Structure 1
Amino acid sequence: MTCAIRLDDVSVTLPDAAGPVLDHLDLTVEEGDLALVVGRTGTGKSTLLGTLNGLVPHFTGGRLTGTVTVAGRDTRDNRPRDLADVIGVVGQNPLAGFVTDTVEDEIAYGMEQFGISPSIMRKRVEETLDLLDIADLRSRALLDLSGGQQQRVAIASVLAAQPRILVLDEPTSALDPNAAQDVLASITTLVQDVGLTVVLAEHRLERVMHAADTVIWLPGDGSAVQGEPSQVLRVSDVTPPLADLARVMGWPDVPTSVRQARRRVQDAGIRLSTRTAAEPTEAISWPDDPDADVLRLTDLTVSYGGLRAVDSVTLGLQPGTVTALMGRNGAGKSSLMWAVQGATRSSGEVRVRESGPGDESWADPRTVSASRARELVCLVPQSAADLLYLPSVGAECGQADRESRVPDGTTVAILSRLGVELPADRDPHDLSEGQRLALVLAIQLAASPRVILLDEPTRGLDYAMKAKLSGIVAALADPDGAGSGAAVLISTHDVEFAAACTQRTIVMAAGQVVADGTTRTVCTSSPAFSPQMAKVFHPADLLTPAEVAEALADSRQRPGVPTAPAALTAPTAPTAPATVPAVPDEGIGGWSAAPRGSRR
């Protein structure tokens, strides 16, 4: 087969770095393959992607040794502009790459640079709008779009130029489950039917690993491991739900789809004794208790011209409860959060209780001083960098301590609890997307507010960091924890995180609340919002691999309940082996991929 991308003995050392981020890599991506790049936050995924079109080192600086060959061209001799006709790149932050004002103009811009005739441009624009299902956005201003809509436009603008190789850095991080599935299906179709080569870095592996031909794992020590997805995910420190399930069940490799996992469970005769998922006839509701509310919204409405983004929403949040806010892109989730925080003009009532239940002293964060509003409500936005304006991490943390009137070092301590250690002299804008988000989260949590609003907080975070974030959120909602029982509202498209972290789920559509109930009931009653464990073990209402392990242990103790064989039921800790086991035959990074024909 023809090689689309080859890295021969490639090492990359970024400016001011103590050592190489990538160290003597030998990797190959065949033409027409979908290569999935995985690794913990900060292990060098974005740097690896940047080498493929010459951004590293031509734009970033630093030192690159070895040879990177893309479509037969050496990136050492070809700058990014010289490779633009064969390779298209969509970065983590779509807004940073836009150069025009409207959706249609942005999609056409790249083709204009190549001198494509207007008639062909018009045809491609229409085809791409339909491919990504954004035709209704064609005349919209880019700045007026939601984060997920901006991401789809960014992908469309690259696809319209029809490159031979497409590089995507977390393309579904801001997309709702249905939109992510549609975008990935479109990309997969281009891989299978057109022969497009795709290199994709993604933290939410459950969305894409079933479509991958090869996986490249960056352990974080500069090396890389490449091979079959089911084998690499078995040993990597990146553990999507199905990888955790494989370790719980003792399977020798990782099923890459719900279908594969479900068949293994059925073939093994595993039947778990647990309550079944909610029936369609059961009501989905969350008990209304106004006397216990810490946040109360009454007829909250947000309008942008003729668009009503939030339409007369009335709801309450209780202290000590973690709530997921879900819904498709453009449903009004972010607008609702900004209105509660007071940064967006809105009508209706927004009230935050001054102290504990029973106290009838309320405050409106839209009308109090900025310092007082910070103690009532804090918001971590989708674009974390918007809140970073000082030249170093240390300066940002020190300023947060002063603004929150807390002891010095409080923000740094919260950052450490998130599992992120950042040099105090590091420029925040040189951090990865996940590191910036963690820094902003720590800054906002320093004030220990009564209500905490997190808008897509898992964007850019790996599974280990999401698990730590889940613990932080639980502590903030715990009456005896650091947050003294705050009400936490999390706008998210990450159904796995919502299943593991929240007790209540609110679903919005067209600016209105269409569902409000327990996370278990809401998520297991919807294919779109259902976590993978619920799909694998349906009709059992299991949400996480940890619940599967508990149910297995419980089933073994119940007389008359069939259990899985011992080899399949012994839960194991989700940790990777200290060393990667050797595989016969010569393969890239110690692995040998199966014959290409076996995956077609």
Structure 2
Amino acid sequence: MNDDGIRFERVTFAYEARPVLDDVTFTVPEGEFCLLVGATGAGKSTLLKAVNGLVPAFTGGTMRGRITVAGREVRGSTPADLADLVGHVGQDPAAGFVTDDVELELAYTAEQLGLDPAAMRKRVTEIVDLLGLADVRDRTLDALSSGQRQRVAIGAALVAGPAALVLDEPTSALDPAAADEVLSTLHRLVHDLGVTVLLAEHRLERVVQYADSALLLDGGKVTAGPVGEVLAASPVAPPVVALGRLAGWPGPPVTVREARRAAPGLREALAGRTPPQDAVPDGPVLLEARGVTVDHPGVRAVDGVDLVAARGERIALMGRNGSGKSSLLWALQGTGRRSGGTVAVGGADPAARRPGERRALAGLVPAEPADLLYAETVAAECAAADDDGRAPRGTCAKILADLVEGVDDRTHPRDLSEGQRLALALAVTLTAAPPLLLLDEPTRGLDQPGKAALADRLRALAAAGHCVVVSTHDVEFCAEFAGRVVILSDGQVVADGPAARIVAASPMFAPQVEKVLPGWLTVGQVAAALEEGGDGG
């Protein structure tokens, strides 16, 4: 039997009495790119951490079964013991950095392994060339873009020459172009160096074209097989798979290219029909920002932006990493710095108000929702939000219950799932009833059903009279949520208009359905049109 690659044999793992992995057996062959699929909270991160010994060495819990990588036993070893065997890259690469400079970070693992200076320099130079980091080799890590930081994290994991690389949502913080750079790098590692790659990712539409095989983790069990077969049976799948199911295409296709080849019949069925158009909100102007400028040390992040929005609008703020989206959101909310320009929400400048009054004008859910959460329990968090928002006791808890079911109010916020934590942060923000709601990358860590539920909630808030502005790299979420898209580049607005027109004109920001059926943005739009015309269900 070939023991190369990653092998799980009857692996069971549980925290206390709750099993996360239940008698799991699979093999990822040497030099294969394998995609790990599963709903939010299914245990994907736990499975990945088990490959390099983080689970159970640093998490606790009980484990049975056998895990090997390249024939070597993993259980009983720490990540440091396995550094030359398994490289691990977590969701937030910056959290794993131990130095301040690119070259020092790449050399750190080699130093820990005791390589002599000449061998270390050679190894670091090889990694720099392999990952295209020559231009940033002498920079500090905080001067890099998100995509560059992700490649440095991969490089640091590769310096030890591991046989396998496991990655947890490596593109979650990246714009589409930066995500393609990282995934192309991983594809090259598989094909040129024979590294075994096991990768978990919720934005499946980005990854499937690179994967050789897939694993579905559902209810603690793992199903392994070709990508198409696994996604056909998966509760989470990219839009083209859902489109294929709707149209009855065999397979179903898992890439845009395959879907386009299968689509002529569907295009014919949709001929003469037009996608639904969002009505332009006719509510009063709520947000009026003129000439907003934000300067950070050595960088102009936002450069004279004008943005006017009415109640009822749903706006997606898009652009590459570093284009100024987050800086603009914080400037609009009033907490962030503003070097110039004016902002008025309902006629008042949030920056000129006290924090409590500011939150009642403009609420912001940051990219890390946990940054808003400080209490020891969900109940205490809700009570504090009621007090801060001068709302009747129980207001925040009711909003949370409307957003997500089954949250135990005795739970510590850090023990919630990504979706539950986002819902709690959103409930805390909404308790003050701000007319302007701002969210920064809210879909990180959410699967497709979670993103669809979030889009529905935000649409309902807009219909109730809020103005909702979401900064996002997630083109599929944008297609579900937005009525209007504003694209930033180098701190300036370069496009602003109806979502269908703006995303259709941009290959980078177009959703999968639009690439297959021009003019249509979502599977839901197609399904509604077919049902109305009697051509499908």
Question: Does the aligned pair in 2 maintain the 1:145–1:330 contact within 8 Å?
Answer: no
Question: Does the aligned pair in 2 maintain the 1:41–1:435 contact within 8 Å?
Answer: no
How far off its partner does 1:269 sit? 7.3
Taking a change above 3 Å as real, the CA distance of residues 288 and 37 of structure 1, as seen in their structure-2 partners, is closer
CA distance in structure 2 between the partners assigned to 1:382 and 1:395 by the alignment: 22
Q: Say which SS state the counterpart of residue 350 (structure 2) adopts.
A: coil
Partner of 2:76: 77
1:287-324 residue CA offsets vs partner (Å, 9 max, x unmatched): 999x9421111111111222111111112122111111
Aligned mate of 2:530, from 533, 552, 563: 552
How far off its partner does 1:133 sit? 5.2
Q: Structure 1, unaligned stretches of length 5 or more?
A: 278-285, 355-361, 558-568, 572-600
Taking a change above 3 Å as real, the CA distance of residues 398 and 325 of structure 1, as seen in their structure-2 partners, is same
Q: Structure 2, unaligned stretches of length 5 or more?
A: none
Q: 2:314 matched to 1:322?
A: yes
* Identity between Structure 1 and Structure 2 (%): 50
How far off its partner does 1:122 sit? 4.4
Taking a change above 3 Å as real, the CA distance of residues 460 and 135 of structure 1, as seen in their structure-2 partners, is farther
Aligned mate of 1:471, from 437, 456, 461: 456
CA distance in structure 2 between the partners assigned to 1:245 and 1:192 by the alignment: 31
Aligned mate of 1:410, from 372, 375, 395: 395
1:409-463 residue CA offsets vs partner (Å, 9 max, x unmatched): 3333333444353333333233444443333223222222121111100010011
Taking a change above 3 Å as real, the CA distance of residues 397 and 269 of structure 1, as seen in their structure-2 partners, is closer
Taking a change above 3 Å as real, the CA distance of residues 320 and 6 of structure 1, as seen in their structure-2 partners, is same
- Using structure 2 for the length normalisation, give the TM-score: 0.92
1:541-566 residue CA offsets vs partner (Å, 9 max, x unmatched): 11011122234346x57xxxxxxxxx
Q: Look up the equivalent residue of 2:525 and give its one-letter code.
A: E
1:116-167 residue CA offsets vs partner (Å, 9 max, x unmatched): 4445544554554565555554455434556555434323332344422111
CA distance in structure 2 between the partners assigned to 1:550 and 1:146 by the alignment: 40
Partner of 1:104: 103
Q: Say which SS state the counterpart of residue 3 (structure 1) adopts.
A: coil
CA distance in structure 1 between the partners assigned to 2:26 and 2:52 by the alignment: 15
Q: How does 1:330-345 map to 2 (within 5 A)?
A: 330-345=322-337
1:30-76 residue CA offsets vs partner (Å, 9 max, x unmatched): 11111111111111111111111111111000101111112222222
Q: Look up the equivalent residue of 1:317 and give its one-letter code.
A: A
Taking a change above 3 Å as real, the CA distance of residues 410 and 134 of structure 1, as seen in their structure-2 partners, is farther
Taking a change above 3 Å as real, the CA distance of residues 199 and 410 of structure 1, as seen in their structure-2 partners, is farther
Question: Does the aligned pair in 1 maintain the 2:9–2:26 contact within 8 Å?
Answer: yes
Q: Say which SS state the counterpart of residue 92 (structure 1) adopts.
A: coil
Aligned mate of 2:414, from 406, 429, 436: 429
Partner of 2:475: 495
Partner of 2:355: 370
Q: Relative contact order (C-alpha < 8 Å, sep 6+): which is higher?
A: 1
Partner of 2:165: 166
Taking a change above 3 Å as real, the CA distance of residues 259 and 79 of structure 1, as seen in their structure-2 partners, is same
CA distance in structure 2 between the partners assigned to 1:369 and 1:269 by the alignment: 55
How far off its partner does 1:497 sit? 0.5
Aligned mate of 1:249, from 247, 266, 276: 247
Number of aligned residues: 533
Partner of 1:351: 343
CA distance in structure 1 between the partners assigned to 2:469 and 2:383 by the alignment: 26
Partner of 1:29: 28
CA distance in structure 2 between the partners assigned to 1:166 and 1:86 by the alignment: 9
Q: Say which SS state the counterpart of residue 289 (structure 2) adopts.
A: strand
Q: Say which SS state the counterpart of residue 439 (structure 1) adopts.
A: helix
Q: Say which SS state the counterpart of residue 316 (structure 1) adopts.
A: strand
Q: Look up the equivalent residue of 2:469 and give its one-letter code.
A: L
Partner of 1:68: 67
Q: How does 1:164-313 map to 2 (within 5 A)?
A: 164-219=163-218, 221-266=219-264, 270=268, 272-273=270-271, 292-313=284-305
**Deviating more after overlay: 301-310 vs 124-133:** 124-133
CA distance in structure 1 between the partners assigned to 2:23 and 2:141 by the alignment: 41
Q: Say which SS state the counterpart of residue 221 (structure 2) adopts.
A: coil
CA distance in structure 1 between the partners assigned to 2:144 and 2:329 by the alignment: 16
CA distance in structure 2 between the partners assigned to 1:529 and 1:153 by the alignment: 25
Taking a change above 3 Å as real, the CA distance of residues 321 and 104 of structure 1, as seen in their structure-2 partners, is farther
CA distance in structure 2 between the partners assigned to 1:215 and 1:172 by the alignment: 17
Taking a change above 3 Å as real, the CA distance of residues 371 and 312 of structure 1, as seen in their structure-2 partners, is same
Q: Say which SS state the counterpart of residue 340 (structure 1) adopts.
A: helix
Q: 2:87 matched to 1:88?
A: yes
Q: Say which SS state the counterpart of residue 315 (structure 1) adopts.
A: strand
Output the aligned Cα RMSD: 2.6
CA distance in structure 2 between the partners assigned to 1:276 and 1:66 by the alignment: 55
Q: 2:388 matched to 1:400?
A: no
Taking a change above 3 Å as real, the CA distance of residues 440 and 28 of structure 1, as seen in their structure-2 partners, is same
How far off its partner does 1:253 sit? 2.8
**Deviating more after overlay: 292-301 vs 139-148:** 139-148
Q: Say which SS state the counterpart of residue 175 (structure 1) adopts.
A: coil
Question: Does the aligned pair in 2 maintain the 1:392–1:425 contact within 8 Å?
Answer: yes
How far off its partner does 1:88 sit? 0.7
Taking a change above 3 Å as real, the CA distance of residues 351 and 33 of structure 1, as seen in their structure-2 partners, is same
Question: Does the aligned pair in 1 maintain the 2:106–2:156 contact within 8 Å?
Answer: yes
